Structure 1
Amino acid sequence: MIRAVDTLLDRTIVPGYTRLGFHLRRTCWTRDDPAAGALRGRTAMVTGANSGIGKSIATRFAALGAATVLAVRDLDRGGRARREILDAVPGADVELAQCDVAEPASVDACADALARDHGTLDVLVHNAGVLPIDRTENSAGHELTLATHVLGPLRLTDRLTPLLASAGDARIIFVASGGMYAQPLPVRDPEYRRGEYRGATAYARTKRMQVAFAPLLDGRLADQGVSVHSMHPGWVDTPGISAALPRFSSALRPAMRTADEGADTAVWLATTTPSPMSGHFWHDRRIRHEHYLRHTRYPEDHLLSLWSYCLDEAGAGLH
């Protein structure tokens, strides 16, 4: 009965992605919550951690005992987030790292700094996100959502692989989006140069890429003791969504999840034991289908072609 209700919530989308879906499923999780101190002695990095879901994930990590690194583009905003986390979790080990995930030089500098200060990295959460109104490029000429959601995370993962491998049971988590269900892989136009640019479409396309690439990345890193997961948080009321999609946010605000509710599955993936099955797409602590629409499916050669392009453009040696 419980599984049937869960499946119905997932397939009907609206109730499943809202607070209703979260709280109906939550009744089954009581014994599965992270134990106190579950991350004590471990190091976790969260990109885009100065607000919204990223900040909530970082706060939960700090409360569970992790040495928590807030990887942020804006150090002033990051500093405020750090102070707020310390207010919520007095005595926690929380530090800042400057990292504009869309910029290769910033990614490299961040990875170098982390390697100097930490011998291992147990958890890496790729959460940083953008939803631009107009098509914008980074300094290397890549469309901004592609650079932020795909190329930057691949480059950062590549640079941090030695630290992740030394942890023994490291976990990488991509915070994707249920919006990816409407979009196929942009195999022929990954940089979104054709047609009318829509920020929401660019966002969903690159979130589709995160989910499609997670199993490939998992396959490259599994023999080094590193697992890779992707998840989507449901519809969450965050400052970024409110600014980028005001009509959507306003219409659904009463039913939208809090940032803490949206963060739940990412925290669970990082802490649950034994380690969850890797290379899969998760929502509300369960593996979900990656496709519900026929037009979003793709042959393997298309996926591998796009994967190769992105690795090359990211400067990542994960082939």
Structure 2
Amino acid sequence: MTGLTTAAARALDSTLDRTIAPGFTRLGYAVRRRLPTWPADPTPGILTGHHVAVTGASSGLGECTAHDLAALGATVHLVVRDAGRGGRVAAEIESAVGRAGAARVWVCDVADLDSVRTFCSAFLAAGLPLRALVHNAGALPATRTESPQGHELTMALHVLGPVLMTELLLPLLGADAGRVVFVTSGGMYSQPLPVDDPEFLRGEYSGTTAYARSKRGQIELLPILARRWLPAGVSVSATHPGWAATPGVQTSLPRFNALLGPSLRTAGEGADTTTWVVAADPAPASGQLWHDRQPRPTSIMRRTHPTALQRERFWEWVAESVTLPDFPSP
């Protein structure tokens, strides 16, 4: 493997990506790590003195990401719904890195826009400059469920809440050349942007379809958000973890979990690129989707590739739903 030329390594990497199954499993991660195109690991201690917030940090990918960022020196802010579970993770992080204060717990339901506003108000009052905000909180409901504001749950949790949270925390992110990371899913490749029905009011509801549609929404907002947040000095990326074994997958997709079994990535392998995007020096280019430390196409099938007008229409729905006082379309 070490004798591969750069061109051959890139071709192999792309082949793994396009064929999905090998590239998204443990095999894809193991092969890519051995290619000469694999970027260097973050410098030890590179996040010392920096603050990073991770939503959904009480289990799975979010918990692993928080551990990895703290190991690089960051003070990690665990944004969770359950303070008790968050406290357990915080204690484990501080024990692992041997540093008191390495992790702090904040309670917030990202799907609840009022909860997001309350959390952001408290965080802004603390005045801590943010190096990164990782939007990892996720859910895959079995039946159509609405947020407290009446939005379909996956769109509220994966799109509306994260956009609102970032907008409110921009002053803190801009103070440290901040990076915003949406942890998305390869499942979004199967779905087009639901411009005409973002709330999934039509047809028979499917949790897996709703999840993938909301993740498509994250991806298609990237160019718009990159332009919007550039004046604040804030970049935005999305990462997808491949197929990783997490509590969420085991609970929400038991057949998928049982079928792939040992082929699934560990949480650490799934979280690797998110940690790398946060810690890489220099910062990765804004507005891109990353998987296994390389930029990836956002659509594979033509039917899932939206027009610029469709992206703008979706953005207008997000802007109206979030109802910030100053929220113009870019």
Q: Normalized against structure 1, the TM-score is what?
A: 0.97
Corresponding residue of 1:297? 305
By how many angstroms is 1:221 displaced?
A: 0.8
By how many angstroms is 1:30 displaced?
A: 6.9
Which amino acid in the other structure matches residue 181 of structure 1? Y
* Superposed CA offset, 1:23-51 (max 9, x none): 11112477610111110111100000000
Contact 1:220 1:318 in 2 (8 A): no
| SS of the residue 1:122 aligns to | strand
| SS of the residue 2:204 aligns to | coil
Counterpart check, 1:14 vs 2:29: no
Which amino acid in the other structure matches residue 207 of structure 2? G
| SS of the residue 1:45 aligns to | strand
Contact 1:125 1:174 in 2 (8 A): yes
| SS of the residue 1:310 aligns to | helix
For structure 2, the 5+ residue unaligned runs are 1-7
Corresponding residue of 1:54? 62
By how many angstroms is 1:302 displaced?
A: 1.2
Matches within 5 A, 1:1-319: 1-28=8-35, 32-91=40-99, 93-167=102-176, 169-316=177-324, 317-319=326-328
| SS of the residue 2:77 aligns to | strand
By how many angstroms is 1:196 displaced?
A: 0.6
| SS of the residue 2:88 aligns to | helix
Cα distance in 2, alignment partners of residues 30 and 286 from structure 1: 8
| SS of the residue 1:229 aligns to | strand
* Superposed CA offset, 1:94-128 (max 9, x none): 00000100011110111111112233111000000
Cα distance in 2, alignment partners of residues 119 and 16 from structure 1: 38
CA change 1:34–1:308 in 2 (3 A) is: same
| SS of the residue 1:228 aligns to | strand
* Superposed CA offset, 1:203-228 (max 9, x none): 00000000111221111011211000
Contact 1:15 1:21 in 2 (8 A): yes
Cα distance in 1, alignment partners of residues 249 and 198 from structure 2: 23
CA RMSD after TM alignment: 1.2
Contact 1:158 1:318 in 2 (8 A): no
For structure 1, the 5+ residue unaligned runs are none
Q: Normalized against structure 2, the TM-score is what?
A: 0.94
| SS of the residue 2:143 aligns to | coil
Which amino acid in the other structure matches residue 26 of structure 1? R
Which amino acid in the other structure matches residue 173 of structure 1? V
By how many angstroms is 1:232 displaced?
A: 0.4
Identity between Structure 1 and Structure 2 (%): 48
Cα distance in 2, alignment partners of residues 144 and 138 from structure 1: 5
Cα distance in 2, alignment partners of residues 280 and 53 from structure 1: 20
Cα distance in 2, alignment partners of residues 203 and 295 from structure 1: 18
CA change 1:153–1:18 in 2 (3 A) is: same
Cα distance in 1, alignment partners of residues 49 and 317 from structure 2: 37
| SS of the residue 1:140 aligns to | coil
By how many angstroms is 1:81 displaced?
A: 1.5
Cα distance in 2, alignment partners of residues 55 and 131 from structure 1: 18
* Superposed CA offset, 1:188-213 (max 9, x none): 10000111100000000000000111
Which amino acid in the other structure matches residue 310 of structure 2? H
Number of positions where the alignment pairs a residue of Structure 1 with one of Structure 2: 318
CA change 1:31–1:129 in 2 (3 A) is: closer
